[in-house]
Structure 1
């Protein structure tokens, strides 16, 4: 589990150094690490697009395709949400506004939040960013985990998670507007693939939990006292701890089946989501300074980049920054182009 942006939400941080570590049985380490091939060595048809940034700093929040993105441009006098060449919204920088974006086939949906209070409003626009309207200001104190599930569009509605006291609550409203419905959950949770919520305590080792927010049915995911477990309904990420950090990085199904080792020490998640497209895990190999893609179907790993900064994912796209503000470039991989393997 990676550190999460939930400090004002009252979640408890358990530091890795404070956890008593025992040695767990696991795969024996190889005497020499196998070389990891490049992405195109494994998937010759893989397509990585490039988006160069000129002028004010720009961060893509979603891609329509590998060449068109929606994102945030920060200037001294304004913050602009853009989609391609269209300015969708422009707000003053006071209050450090933050945007959380999601997409539907016929709409662009986003939260505008204060970076301090996590309160704000929910907006929608047409699929190309046209005709923006405020849907509601009843958003609560929103949970943000830098995940594609921070804001989930489903069944003509949109849902997000907020904090109230010691509980979290699923908030849902129709895309057309109207009252916000609230479903409380006892404890710390975040949304994952709809209709599930997942345990969201920061760096909390041990078992995890998946809850169907429609009926409240809960599924416990076993985890040892030295394991950090993050889950979606399809895959769980397991980081086996030791006093100096992570000893092993595994993936498994929520029922504990199909557990496999992805890597040893030095491997960590690149972002909050466990997998993308229910198949691919994106990790950072700190020992080699590489951004790596792991395929749960074939078990193959491939290097995406050896120079990277911010790494994000949404839908079928994974993207990362290269360079600094003076010469910033975004590389974007369309995972749908990975057809077959070498």
Structure 2
């Protein structure tokens, strides 16, 4: 296994490199006031873009078992998990309504957490299986199978995954440059993160170790967690092997991609609202108050849409699902009764109802032009 160290510098070194223009540290900008209230939306996506209709289908298979989408391959084809009819096993399947589900893999229902991440490109589907070994220690393997509904045997890519980390982000597992990429924790006294890669054509797992807590973002970037103590968020370009400091003031928590950051102002009672800013510190604006929360881990899908939930209006049927469109500056209603909400790439999907009334809905944000 190849390995190299990508060291997080000391504060003194950061300052020195900043003076040499190797690191970029920008001042905290003035916030841009919003021109409209930042509470619940008053206009729907369908009203803003007439003719927009989310895809919708029943949340059960022909055998009556419910399924949960993990990834939309297109607006009607999903990679999903579903129990077997007897409840003893969990299946990972590819499914299009009206077609028989293609089974990729099965695990015992006791093998929690089971299927922990999935990614796909035009040629293949890649997923992780995290199950306890004989000593009860969780072990993760990475598997692959050809894309499409045709039956094909799954192949294990590697079991050399370390202490793999999965947060629900679309970047937990990703395919780029002919390899699959993921992050793993370390067991040393000081926090560090292993960014791991394995060629899909075969070979050895390579590891780059970053000092501190990092996660993959949009390839080839990794981003550090938080910044709540005022030290800023580090954005590491793993291809160019350089790092940028994204300024975050003390008392704020930032989640960043290479382009945008979601910034939460933290108070005694929790987050006091949501702001967005570009990673160079520009275009900072408050988009939501304490009545809303982020609906998905990743900020700014397509570098344009922030997905939110109106938690103040939650009830037994669900809660309003919203999107903020940074192009128009509007917050728009997607659904009034969303339960489970997920997003990957251009697609945000959500459930409504339960048991016999369970449905899944999907909105392709790329169509909102």
TM-score normalised by the chain length of structure 2: 0.80
Decide whether the 8 Å contact of 1:118 with 1:142 is kept in 2.
no
Instruction: Tell me the residue number matched to 1:134.
Output: 156
Partner of 1:248: 273
Q: 1:29 to 1:106 in 2, by over 3 A?
A: closer
Match of 1:106 in 2: 123
Matched, 1:119 2:159: no
1:28 CA drift (Å)? 8.3
- The answer to whether residue 291 in structure 2 is matched with residue 269 in structure 1 is no
Q: Does 1:63 align with 2:72?
A: yes
Stretches of structure 2 lacking an aligned partner (at least 5 in a row): 1-29, 96-100, 314-318
Q: How does 1:300-319 map onto structure 2 within 5 Å?
A: 300-319=330-349
SS of corresponding position for 1:275? coil
2:102 paired residue number: 86
Aligned equivalents of 2:218 and 2:280: distance in 1?
17
Q: Which residue in 2 is equivalent to 1:153?
A: 175
Contact 2:41 2:333 in 1 (8 A): no
| Residue 49 (structure 1) aligns with | 55
Once the two structures are TM-superposed, the CA of residue 259 in structure 1 deviates from its matched residue by 0.9
Structure with the bigger RCO (C-alpha within 8 Å, sep 6+) is 1
Change (3 A) 1:112 1:120: same
For the residue of structure 1 that corresponds to 2:43, the secondary structure is: coil
Structure 1 position 178, deviation (Å): 1.5
Deviations 1:63-93 (A, max 9, x none): 1222111110024111111001211112222
Pairing partner for 1:332 from 356, 359, 362 = 362
Correspondence list, 1:162-311, <5 A: 162-165=184-187, 166-200=191-225, 204-206=228-230, 207-288=232-313, 289-311=319-341
Equivalent-residue separation in structure 1 for 2:217 and 2:269 (angstroms): 30
3-state DSSP of counterpart to 2:46: helix
Give the deviation of 1:25 after TM superposition.
Answer: 7.6
Q: Secondary structure at the match of 1:287?
A: helix
Q: What whole-Å deviation, never above 9, does each CA across 1:291-341 have from its counterpart, x for those lacking one?
A: 1011122212211111111111112111011112342111110112212xx
CA 1:259–1:334: 2 relative to 1, 3 Å: same
CA contact (8 A) 1:60 1:69 kept: yes
- 1:94-153 deviation digits (Å, cap 9, x = unpaired): 321133100111111111113885531111111116331111111111111101000011
Report the TM-score when normalising by structure 1: 0.86
SS of the residue 1:150 aligns to: coil
Which residue of the partner structure matches residue 20 of structure 1?
none
User: Do the aligned partners of residues 25 and 68 (structure 1) sit closer, same or farther apart at CA in structure 2, a change above 3 Å counting?
Assistant: closer
Q: Is the 8 A contact 1:78 1:90 kept in 2?
A: yes
| 3-state SS in 1 of match to 2:279 | coil
Rg larger in structure = 2
Aligned residue pairs, count: 315
Aligned residue for 2:338, secondary structure, equals: coil
Q: Confirm or deny: 8 A CA contact 2:220 2:238 kept in the other structure.
A: yes
Q: Report if the CA contact (8 A) 1:46-1:334 is conserved.
A: no
Change in CA separation of 1:141 and 1:37 when aligned onto 2, cut-off 3 Å: same
Unpaired runs of 5+ residues, structure 1, are 1-23
